Structure 1
Amino acid sequence: MNSPGTKVHHLDGIRILDLFAGPGGLDVAAHFLGFKSIGIEWDRNACETRYAAGLPTIHADVSVMRESRFDEIPKTVDVLAGGPPCQSFSVAGNGKGRRALDTVKEFIHRLVDGEDEVKIDEDLHALGDSRTALVLEPLRWLLKAIDTEGRDPYKVIVLEQVPAALPLWEVYAKLLRSGEGRLKGVKYEAECWQLKTEQFGVPQTRTRAVLVARRPEHGTIAPLKATHLPFDLHRGSRNVDQAEMFPTTPGIPRARQRWLSMAEALEAASTLEDSSVDVSRLSTGGRMDFFVVSNYGSGGDPKNRGQRHSSEPAFTVTGKVSRNKVYKSVAEYEAGMSQRFTIPESGVLQTFPHNFPWSGHDQAQQVGNAVPPRLGMHVLSRALRGNAPSDDELAAATTWPSVPRTTTSELRVIGCGDQSQCPPDSHKVTRLHRKSAP
């Protein structure tokens, strides 16, 4: 049985609350920087991965936690982080996406201006799109902390989203700087950036909109410094030699390092002790030489599948990463003899440790939904310490520590001990009815 002392042990000293925590991209980043975190996650499968990884978790709806279980969040938490679901804003280039952005901006101002939240909730419900409500949750959690006796306002706020959400973070930032309305004079230094993951050592091209805010007494927020060069997404022709134009050379400042390729990342992971990555099947003559055909269309044509060579960064790792096809030769391509990235390989392309204990179902979706931990390390380190992660910290982030089964069981009790408080039907078991033998 999980004793109260065990619960205190796992939740002692937690500083970061990760809303919409997923399998733990930001939590993994926090771990390697030396900070403890707790995540709130709706998806049971992602929770199972988190328990296996030893990450404190509450299996719940973030809005339910805020409304009726706020007191369960450790009072040591002084950092609010999260990446709310983003599908509504992924289409911000068309009329529907722009309307979604404008709607959220309106609700942000209504919340800060102090309008009745019952009315706001009714209007959100009438929209018929729960994702719009979710992108407001970080602000509502901040206002809740300000309004709750015995709680202090968060010292630091870190939010990330797809690039199309940058205008929302700019609205957030403007209000946080003002301290107006329900913020009750609580002001923040706040900055927003659009970051390319390959410029921070992630072996894939992915762009994220990031907001970092912190109380003025902790100083201004300096921009993140890229450690790698950007990858040219619009190269005119396929030229593998492009990958060798800026070789990684000892002694060259980190800001001028070439981006990391799929081959480099997977090869490095395969050499680690007890590695979960075996690149022999992707190698020819001892050399990794493969190409990937994307599951998605290119240039507006769904039939025009993009291609990347192993000497280049991966495409954005999405929940459909397992549908990308991997070929070692043109002959294999013509013969339809494709392979797929394994879950550990996909995780490495996201910069998760090679031995991260992916668990539960829908593991490809878990991998694709996560924040790349290496990017998370750069963002959290800047937000919490005002500097970049050290080389030693980044090097250590390739291997995850072993987690005892007792720890996993204890964390599951904390997160799902009272299953009646978990999301509806998330623990429902479907039993197959066998026909009687004739």
Structure 2
Amino acid sequence: MFVQSLSTVGSVIVMMSKEKKMNFSVEVLADILSQSKSTMEARIRRGELKRCEESGTIGLDQVEHHPEIQSMVQTLWDDERAVKPLRPYKLVELFAGGGGLAIGMEQAGLESILLNEMDKHACATLRHNRPDWNVIEGDIAKVDFTQIEEEVDILTGGFPCQAFSYAGKSLGFEDTRGTLFFEMARAIKETQPKVFLAENVRALLTHDDGRTLETIKSVIDELGYELVEPRVLKAIFYKVPQKRERLILVAIRKDLAQKVKFHWPSPYRKVMTLRDAFYAGELYDTDVPESEGQHYPERKREIMEHVPQGGYWRDLSDDLQREYMGGSYFLGGGKTGMARRLSLDEPSLTLTTSPAQKQTERCHPIETRPLQVREYARIQTFPDNWEFKGSKNAAYKQIGNAVPVNMSKALGHSLVRLLNDIESLEQPTTGNA
């Protein structure tokens, strides 16, 4: 029944999209297709793509053959959001940070029964916003997960990427001791959740020539779980105005894995930009509220005044390039994050733990200043009423390290659908013999 309704909705969205003549800016289309702007411009020069004379955009009919575009046009987004838990599913979250993953899971209908985090400011944030959450502050190695009395349906967390020590040809669970992945694996072993989700940086795919991920896969198998083929998800596809990528690992306990299937979340039908983040509209009901933020030194501000929207250090005059870049002026590489001003009509670049770092500048599109705390939070799709505790820099760190809330929610709905399928398996069938 669910599949049938998804198919119907998909066909409706196809028709609606064609009627509305969906168009894409060159910048956003480049992000969707994972191509550079220069590549897109070259395609236009060769006549492969043609801009609309009035808007300068590319029409849907020119790019609808691309799988990425097809998945947006035929999206099952709305139906997936209609999925509700058959019962309250219990969630344990590790490395919870400032709450991005936890909020998304909550919005999808999952119930947190324990959250572990070491950073005191992040713990204060979680407790302040959700006084009823069971927040365990401190080193995960000191948490005894066997004390959890409730049945754990799902365990989530983003463990930091660390190399393992390769003494032998292959490593098992005990051999990874001393790493934070070992502690997550221990939590899985002690709670035996039906499903777990781990998120990490894209670089984990190739970390230590791929050996780190292979070890993780081996331990997951040893723990009694079947790993769904990992995917790198792009936040722009999940109603997040940010070019952020995360590697997602989902695993299902082996006694259940052959009976159910995990479905990755469908993309949203359009890409959100900074304009959506900062002004009232589809993402938020109001313009972004004023908040505290970092400031530029006077000379840096004077130089940044000359950078256009979407531009960076190469858009400065040669004299200012030399002054701003110093010795880096003569080095190779694009260094595209330096003196970078964001654009209102594109998603933000990936946020870091500080908006004013020289290598990863995140300057406001219109005003010459670093992004403020609430602007940072909106780019990560945090609710405006979610307050961050600690200093201004502590708030930036919590936001910059978070999983975007809307992407977490999309994953949460996929997990709820999976847990519903598992729940249906476990319910006794009734009927006439």
Q: Structure 1-normalised TM-score?
A: 0.57
2:352 corresponds in structure 1 to 318
Which residue type is aligned with residue 314 of structure 1? S
Please state how far the C-alpha of 1:290 moved relative to its aligned partner. 5.4
Kept in 2: contact 1:292–1:325 (CA 8 A): no
More divergent stretch after superposition (266-275 vs 353-362): 266-275
Matches within 5 A, 1:142-153: 142-145=188-191, 153=192
Residue in structure 1 matched with residue 157 of structure 2 by the alignment: 82
Partner of 1:332: none
1:43 equivalent in alignment to 2:119: yes
Partner of 1:165: 204
1:136 corresponds, among 165, 172, 182, to 182
Letter in 2 for 1:368: G
Q: 1:429 — aligned with what?
A: none
Instruction: Tell me whether 1:206 sits opposite 2:244 in the alignment.
Output: yes
Distance 2:198 2:283 in 1: 34
**Partner AA of 1:29 in structure 2:** G
Q: Give the 5 Å matches for 1:35-434.
A: 35-37=110-112, 38-54=114-130, 55-65=133-143, 69-86=144-161, 88=162, 100=163, 103=164, 109-112=170-173, 121=177, 124=178, 133-145=179-191, 153-166=192-205, 167=210, 168-169=212-213, 171-173=215-217, 175-176=219-220, 178=221, 180=222, 183=223, 186-216=224-254, 217=256, 219-228=259-268, 254=269, 257=270, 259-268=271-280, 277=289, 299=333, 301=335, 304-321=338-355, 324=361, 326=363, 338-361=368-391, 362-386=394-418
Query: How far is the alpha carbon of 1:316 from its aligned partner?
Result: 0.4
Kept after mapping to 2: 8 A contact 1:83/1:159: yes
C-alpha distance in 2 between matches for 1:106 and 1:14:
40
Percentage identity across aligned positions?
A: 25
Whether the 8 Å contact between 1:190 and 1:212 is mirrored in structure 2 is: yes
Distance (whole Å) between structure 1 residues aligned to residue 279 and residue 121 of structure 2: 29
Cα distance in 2 for residues equivalent to 1:70 and 1:266? 41
- Counterparts of 1:104 and 1:165, CA distance in 2: 16
Displacement after TM superposition at 1:291 (Å): 5.1
Partners of 1:384 and 1:106 in 2: CA distance: 40
Residues 351 and 400, structure 2, Cα contact 8 Å, conserved in 1: yes
Q: 1:170 to 1:197 in 2, by over 3 A?
A: farther
Post-superposition Cα deviations, 1:196-217, rounded to whole Å, max 9, x if no partner, equal: 1112221111111110011352
Distance of aligned partners of 1:338 and 1:106 in 2 relative to their CA distance in 1, 3 Å threshold = farther
Which segments of 5 or more consecutive residues in structure 2 lack a partner in the other structure? 1-87, 292-307, 314-323, 421-433
Shift of 1:226: 4.4
What value does the CA root-mean-square deviation take over the aligned residues? 3.6
**1:179-234 CA-partner distances (Å, limit 9, x unpaired):** x4xx3xx3435331111111222111111111001135264444525425xxxxxx
Q: CA 1:372–1:387 in 2, change beyond 3 Å: closer, same or farther?
A: farther
5+ residue gaps, structure 1 = 1-12, 89-99, 125-132, 146-152, 229-253, 280-288, 330-336, 389-438
Q: CA 1:83–1:347 in structure 2 vs 1: closer, same or farther (change >3 Å)?
A: same
Relative to structure 1, the CA distance from residue 270 to residue 340 in structure 2 (aligned partners, 3 Å threshold; closer, same or farther) is farther
Match of 1:127 in 2: none
- Take 1:224 and 1:201, find their aligned partners in 2: how far apart are those partners? 15
Summarize the Cα distance change of 1:345–1:104 in structure 2 as closer, same or farther, 3 Å threshold. Answer: farther
Between 368-377 and 316-325, the greater mean CA deviation after superposition: 316-325
**Structure 2 counterpart of 1:382, one-letter code:** S
Q: Distance in 1 between matches of 2:166 and 2:407?
A: 27
